[in-house]
Amino acid sequence: MTLDEQDKAIIAELQRDGRTPYAAIAEAVGLSETAVRKRVMRLTDSGVMQIVAVTDPTQLGFARQAMIGIRVSGPLEPVAQALAALPEVDYVVITAGSFDVLAEVVCESDAHLLALVSDRIRGISGVRETDTLMYLKLQQQTYAWGVR
Amino acid sequence: MTLDEQDKAIIAELQRDGRTPYAAIAEAVGLSETAVRKRVMRLTDSGVMQIVAVTDPTQLGFARQAMIGIRVSGPLEPVAQALAALPEVDYVVITAGSFDVLAEVVCESDAHLLALVSDRIRGISGVRETDTLMYLKLQQQTYAWGVR
DNA sequence: AGTGAAACGACCGTAGA
DNA sequence: TCTACGGTCGTTTCACT
């Protein structure tokens, strides 16, 4: 699907506040309310955009985040699935490069992170090697790719 | 801030659809509409939660995603800031581990990715070494950490 | 443009520090 | 008593046909 400038403007508006009324969006982008509503429906139905609640783990007592780089022996997908099943894991991607799988984890403390990596991640069958990249500072996080 | 079960239920509901009416949430969690509205306001005002539009780059012709692991000489923050300023970069984090900075990038094609890494990222002053981890499969992505 | 639904604000009640 | 939270109701605004 291709986005025109008005689609992008609508997304940008909903990026600021996902509950912005259609009428307010309409005024901001120069379309009728109905046109905006149809476009939003089209964007969400097609899977291009989704309007969801996003939480901030640091505000919830999860002070320790890290990316775990993993080297695997054998098939990758079972390992990725096992990682995704862990409650502390919020992001899993299979990659080609110096790691086979990347997993982002959210922990309450160093002890929690240690237990997670040492006991549970390294216990997954097929996990050969892990590299823990502890987060020092989250510099940027964008939810609306391809829009700005 | 501490979340009780009702906060979590509200977040879970808005995680499914960020525009769910307060009355519907109220019914689902067993509170009045007003109470739900106040809780949502508290959650968003405090920064615990945000309701936003999220786009799917693969649906928008950005077929090539990658995590770029970067080793830096000298200060880290200027490099992280320069990375964040690139339009293709949607996520930047400073880490302690085998990379100094991680940047997730969204590209239209291999050629685009090559140009980005080769010309622009490696041209940033302080970038010493890059490792491109091309995404093969995004296995999981969660927006509501600490809720499930 | 009109109508039913949703959101909002002002006010009150209650429980616990 | 003060604060935090929930509920009721009347009004305005919004969503959808």
Structure tokens belonging to residue B14: 């808005």
pLDDT, one tens digit per residue, over B73-103 is: 999 999 999 999 999 999 999 999 999 999 9
Structure tokens at B28: 């689902």
Q: What is the pLDDT of residues B126-136, one digit of tens each?
A: 999 999 999 99
Instruction: Copy the structure tokens of residue B44.
Output: 């968003």
What is the rounded average pLDDT of the residues B5-15? 96
CA distances from A73 to A102, A146, B47, B76 (A): 15, 35, 41, 33
pLDDT digits (tens, 9 = 90+) for A76-109: 999 999 999 999 999 999 999 999 999 999 999 9
Which pLDDT score is estimated for A148?
61
CA B114 to chain centre: 23
Task: Name the more confident of A59 and B104.
Answer: B104
Contacts of B11 in chain A (CB under 8 A): 53, 55
How far is it between the farthest Cα atoms of chain B?
57
All protein residues with a CB under 7 A from any atom of strand D: A 21-24, 33-34, 37; B 6, 31-35, 38-39, 42
Evaluate if pTM is beyond 0.85: yes
Residue A78, both tokens: 């079972």
Mean pLDDT of B54-80: 96
pLDDT of amino acid A127: 98
Whether the per-residue pLDDT at A57 is higher than 70: the answer is yes
Average pLDDT score over residue span A2-29: 95
Q: Is the pLDDT of residue A146 over 90?
A: no
User: B148 pLDDT band (50/70/90 cuts)?
Assistant: low
Q: Is the predicted pLDDT of residue B147 greater than 80, yes or no?
A: no
Average pLDDT, chain A: 95
Show which positions of strand C are touched by protein (CB under 7 A): 1, 5-10
What is the average pLDDT score of chain B?
Answer: 95
- CB A146 to CB B62 under 8 A? yes
pLDDT grade for A144, boundaries at 50, 70 and 90: confident
- Contact indicator for B73, B128 with CB cutoff of 8 Å: yes
**Contact assessment for residue A147 and residue A134, using Cβ atoms and an 8 Å cutoff:** no
Q: List, in sequence order, every beta strand (DSSP E) within B1-147.
A: 49-55, 64-72, 89-96, 101-107, 127-141
With a cut of 90, say whether residue A30 has pLDDT above it: yes
